[in-house]
Structure 1
Amino acid sequence: MDKTLTQSLAEFIIGLDARDVPAQGIEHARTAIIDSVGCTLAGLNEPAAKLTADWGGREGAAPRATVLGRGYMSSPGIAALINGTASHALDYDDVSPPMIGHPSAPLVPALLAAGEAAHASGLKVLAAYVVGLDVSARIGRLMNPAHYAHGWHATSTLGALAAAAGASRLLGLNEEQIRHALGIAASGAAGIRKNFGSMVKPLHAGQAARCGIEAAFLARSGFDADPYILDGQHGFLDVFRGQAANAPDASSIRFSADQPLEIIESGVGIKQYACCGCVHTALDVVRALMQKHGFTGQEVEEVNCGVNALAPQVLIHHNAQTGLQGKFSMEYSVAVTLLDGHAGPRQFEDSRVLLPDVQELQKRIHMHTDPALPINHGVFPSKVTVTLKNGAQWSGEAHKAIGMHPSLPLSDQDIDTKFLGCATYALDAQTAEEALKSLRGLEHMPDLSTVMPLLAGRSAVQ
């Protein structure tokens, strides 16, 4: 009898040999973990992260996993919840096009917590990342774009399964236990896009991380679930994908260590800008036009941004009054980029959003749907026309965002610069440098005991 999708996934989780992961795959996984850790440290002072961390500190738990930047340890589940929420709090974290979501925000916190609990080596953590990414991206291919378009936040839904897969591998579950862990996580998977622009969006990532690691612990203790959770009527795909037109045939896709890994095939995109990925191509075009033609934001009369039909469903804020709203506003993101030349974390602080210059300019930024721009997996093309007050007009378009699309990667120097800029929100400069050096050698670590104490410090956390 042919293996089901659930069976093939459980076998893949156990069977992938870390030594068979190409060097490029290990490098990509390491880069993703470095970026995720940096985003977590930068997100610590965001309201969603602070409230979650304060709650976790009051709850108290056996100190088995590090809460990054907070100077304390907690249970693996609570640590994963807090770290996952912080990782996604700035919307600066990485993306997976097939997933149409953020793979590392739920996955890395679960892996760090499970890795600490299991005393796993750095190479095992990297291999678990490769497995987890394969889950979120490959299942994303089966379910998207219908899953995302219907209103589900794939970071949370697919992220819960990925976190369960990676944590199960690190905790040494057998095939039967892994299938139960996937079943437990599938029933905890959730997250709806209605909450975009609120504190709940980053909480989705934390909830998925917690869901996944706690599913693995429960399954290891003997807790059972349906062993075919991905398959058939009322299974995960059936429920979350529904009757989507032109959906891929689920029976044609299986997990196997012999097929190209998603860490190579689709990769992970690293963000340049601390806002929703739907905006990034437009910001690339705006910055390119500014550099080419030498104008400033003060000279701009108006900007028109053409996007595909899915982007307006995500970019729901058109007159941003908070940083969270600004992250999901084409109008604000373009305006602040024109004025500041960049769209990093500081451009999405509430104090920046409320300044008169950007409040006035965002009213003259317009977004419209361009039928010629396609809807693809996690790719949001843009056509931008900038009109200056003197009547000059400049146009450009981009179909893939620099850094965010894996085919246009950032350099190692760019990655390091972003990490250090993020990490110093929570660590002093020397500790941030030491942490980066340690993470750069992750595959050589016998366990995580050298790097986690560096990431625990709270010298800059308010």
Structure 2
Amino acid sequence: MNDSLRRNFLKSTSAGAIACAMPMLPALASAATAVTPATATAPANAAGQGVTRTLARYIVNSRYEDLPENVRKEGTRTLLNWVGVAIGGSHHETVERAVSALAPFSGPKQASLLGRNDRFDIMNAAFLNGVSSHIFDFDDTHLKTVIHPAGPVASAILALSEYQPVSGKDFLNALVLGVETECRIGNSVYPNHYDTGWHITGTAGVFGAAAAAGKLLGLSEQQMVWALGLAASQPVGLRESFGSMNKSFNPGKAASNGLFAALLAARDYTSSEGMIEAKRGWANTISTKQDYAEITEGLGQRYEALLNTYKPFACGIVIHPAIDAAIQLRNQYKLNADMIDKVELRVHPLVIELTGKKTPQIGLEGKFSIYHSVAVAIIDGAAGERQYSDRAVQDARTIALRDKVNATIDPAIKAEQVDMTIVLKDGRKLHKFIEHAIGSVQVPMTDKQLEAKFIDLADGILPAAQTRAVMDACWQVAQLPSAASIAKAAVKAA
């Protein structure tokens, strides 16, 4: 995929295992508060000078009271969605294997795994909750960069919140700051960085985790500079991993790596002063594009959190318009698979690049198949995690309809659009053009729809009453004396 296509996608979608045995940590905030060199006041400029420090200063000084009400609300929706997908993925084979592999080496049982009754040290808990929240590819998406923001950030700070006292307000503020950090850094190198093959949720997400965890640890400005620098040294994730368990490894590792960076910085473990912007720093090493203004301009005035979106369908975001069109036509005309001769799609080139698997063999591959996705959308009227199980991908009826789906690249179609024609065996042609799919910034999921998604994900894992209690805790996060109560509420009974 060339850079111009990726930039078109950017424009069209941007509307608008180490145990921590430290004592409890008030001392961390004071450990290096006096370490503030004269260069602390150096401003960032177009060439990138002072970017890391400018960002660190913003993170350290930002307060919950400074957040606009709509940003607080979107942060709360981000939390609710993340908890739901983490619970939903908590018993997937991927998580089971990771828990089995790491359990013998985990340190003290400091933090919970959502949807399970296991406890791990905070480093491993952050990793495992990050894996769990991404395995269904059902998590939130910042459409400007295709970063999944909550996984790295929320996984890190919820684990930390079970280790030391954290109020709900402080938790929500840290979550928003983490999202802001990773998405702004992602903006600065997207799309070139992503085109090279990096999984940007992992590579940028580590900064969000470090920033959010560092905020809760009370890092000084200098310590936050170091935390961001240590995060820069730990980029994780390649796009080659898509369709395998390895993909969900990336946000999980970004969570634990970011937490690791913040904990080290809290003990004055140093780093370069300009690890994001230096000649041989993060941005110049992993991308041919560096737009540092994306990181520093408008801090505290514009919020990337307001551009976060939530998936109604458990697959790659570029398939969503086609699924939306298929479900609408199915419901309008009461379609079933036996009525259909063929399905013709006109799509943006990126759709084929990312989701062109014609014959997926396992559920995880199905998430990257527009052919499978359209077939299950017509058959089931849904594209949740059940439609991406191994059984669903191997279902004979689904395969038969999948083989009737054809996708043709049309550069005139934007990445968030699809033009669908279903030809019936009786000769009728049914047409649907989707400008913006449900779940986009323009057609966002409502609070009620987010709750319905959460309830469906938790079904069979938590009792209905417990599910309701967890959702209520998420909605009321800013009023909670302890953010850890969210994790405790989401633990599966033994």
Give 1:327 shift. Answer: 0.5
Q: Distance in 1 between matches of 2:493 and 2:90?
A: 10
Q: Which residue of 1 aligns with 2:292?
A: 250
Q: Which residue of 2 aligns with 1:386?
A: 422
- Map 1:246-325 onto structure 2 (within 5 A): 249-251=291-293, 253-254=295-296, 257-264=299-306, 266=307, 268-325=308-365
Specify the code of the residue in structure 2 equivalent to 1:269: T
Specify the code of the residue in structure 2 equivalent to 1:2: P
Q: Which residue of 2 aligns with 1:2?
A: 43
Q: Distance in 1 between matches of 2:225 and 2:376?
A: 47
**Does the aligned pair in 2 maintain the 1:322–1:350 contact within 8 Å?**
yes
Q: Which residue of 2 aligns with 1:447?
A: 482
**Does the aligned pair in 2 maintain the 1:300–1:389 contact within 8 Å?**
yes
Change (3 A) 1:382 1:148: farther
Give 1:166 shift. Answer: 0.8
Residue 136 in structure 1 maps to residue 182 in structure 2: yes
Q: Which residue of 1 aligns with 2:77?
A: 31
Q: Which residue of 1 aligns with 2:31?
A: none
Q: Which residue of 2 aligns with 1:331?
A: 371
Change (3 A) 1:252 1:50: closer
1:127 equivalent among 152, 165, 173: 173
**Does the aligned pair in 2 maintain the 1:307–1:380 contact within 8 Å?**
no
Moved more, 132-141 or 333-342: 132-141
Moved more, 429-438 or 87-96: 429-438
Q: Secondary structure of 2:343's match?
A: strand
What is the root-mean-square deviation of aligned Cα atoms in Å? 1.7
- Map 1:47-446 onto structure 2 (within 5 A): 47-242=93-288, 244=289, 249-251=291-293, 253-254=295-296, 257-264=299-306, 266=307, 268-374=308-414, 380-403=416-439, 405-446=440-481
Give 1:406 shift. Answer: 2.3
Structure 1, residues 40-67: CA drift from partner, whole Å, max 9, x if none? 1110121211111222322221122212
Q: Secondary structure of 1:128's match?
A: helix
Structure 1 gap segments, 5+ residues each: none
Q: Secondary structure of 1:26's match?
A: helix
Q: Distance in 2 between matches of 1:338 and 1:441?
A: 37
**Does the aligned pair in 2 maintain the 1:56–1:82 contact within 8 Å?**
no
Give 1:316 shift. Answer: 4.0
Specify the code of the residue in structure 2 equivalent to 1:324: L
Specify the code of the residue in structure 2 equivalent to 1:130: V
Give 1:251 shift. Answer: 4.9
**Does the aligned pair in 2 maintain the 1:94–1:104 contact within 8 Å?**
yes
Structure 1, residues 195-232: CA drift from partner, whole Å, max 9, x if none? 10000001111111111111111111222111211113
User: In percent, how many aligned pairs have the same letter?
Assistant: 29
Q: Distance in 2 between matches of 1:359 and 1:442?
A: 44
Give 1:257 shift. Answer: 4.2
Give 1:399 shift. Answer: 3.6
Moved more, 449-458 or 139-148: 449-458
Q: Distance in 2 between matches of 1:214 and 1:298?
A: 54
Q: Secondary structure of 1:383's match?
A: strand
**Does the aligned pair in 2 maintain the 1:135–1:161 contact within 8 Å?**
yes
**TM-score normalised according to structure 2 size:** 0.87
Change (3 A) 1:126 1:306: same
Structure 1, residues 14-73: CA drift from partner, whole Å, max 9, x if none? 111111111111111111111101101110121211111222322221122212222132
Q: Distance in 2 between matches of 1:256 and 1:175?
A: 19
Q: Distance in 2 between matches of 1:252 and 1:390?
A: 54
**Does the aligned pair in 2 maintain the 1:98–1:138 contact within 8 Å?**
no
Give 1:256 shift. Answer: 5.2
Give 1:413 shift. Answer: 1.2
**Does the aligned pair in 2 maintain the 1:99–1:136 contact within 8 Å?**
no
Moved more, 254-263 or 136-145: 254-263
Q: Distance in 2 between matches of 1:425 and 1:38?
A: 13
**Does the aligned pair in 1 maintain the 2:55–2:295 contact within 8 Å?**
no
Q: Which residue of 2 aligns with 1:13?
A: 59
Q: Secondary structure of 1:102's match?
A: coil
Q: Distance in 2 between matches of 1:398 and 1:328?
A: 20
**Does the aligned pair in 2 maintain the 1:122–1:442 contact within 8 Å?**
yes
Q: Distance in 2 between matches of 1:150 and 1:398?
A: 30
Specify the code of the residue in structure 2 equivalent to 1:328: F
Change (3 A) 1:166 1:253: closer
Q: Secondary structure of 1:408's match?
A: coil
Q: Distance in 2 between matches of 1:148 and 1:381?
A: 21
Structure 1, residues 150-180: CA drift from partner, whole Å, max 9, x if none? 2111111111111111111111111111111
Q: Secondary structure of 1:402's match?
A: coil
Moved more, 333-342 or 114-123: 114-123
Specify the code of the residue in structure 2 equivalent to 1:50: E
Specify the code of the residue in structure 1 equivalent to 2:43: D
Moved more, 80-89 or 429-438: 429-438
Give 1:252 shift. Answer: 6.8
